[in-house]
Amino acid sequence: MYVDGFVIACPRANKDKFIEHAKLGDSVFMDLGATRVVECWGDDVSEGKTTDFRMAVKAEDDEEVLFSWIEWPDKATRDAAMAKMTEWMEDPSKADPRMDPEKNPMPFDGKRLIFGGFMPIVELGGDQ
């Protein structure tokens, strides 16, 4: 398995818009080989003294922190999906319409999104 993780700040007023955006956009990842996509709306996100999720994405008072991940069967599948998305950025005419910012605008500030790819090293429970 391979995991892409994301943390973003989204205006609380845009929660429903985010859900619609995610349902449409996340289906692209599934079509590109993801096995699971999880979007989580902050519910118990504590403030730290040195660092925390809110600081990481510079969340404002009217925003909530979201924590999301995409599970891939392996890194090769993920890398192929990211190559396809890079191709779409370079030539938007070839892009999947679900990723079109005009048709599916991001209801949050994408400049404050943080993400990375991760190789699981410990896993308990679930279907292993």
Q: Does residue 119 carry a pLDDT above 60?
A: yes
Report pLDDT for 92.
80
Question: Distance of CA 113 to CAs 13, 17, 70, Å?
Answer: 18, 17, 15
pLDDT tens for 3-47 read: 999 999 999 999 999 999 999 999 999 999 999 999 999 999 999
Q: What is the pTM of this model?
A: 0.89
Domains and CATH numbers, the chain: 2-118 (3.30.70.100)
DSSP assigned state of 119: -
Report the alpha-carbon distance of residue 115 to residue 85 in Å, rounded: 15
pLDDT digits (tens, 9 = 90+) for 61-78: 999 999 999 999 999 999
How would residue 86 be classed by pLDDT, with cut points 50, 70 and 90? confident
Is 128's pLDDT higher than 60?
no
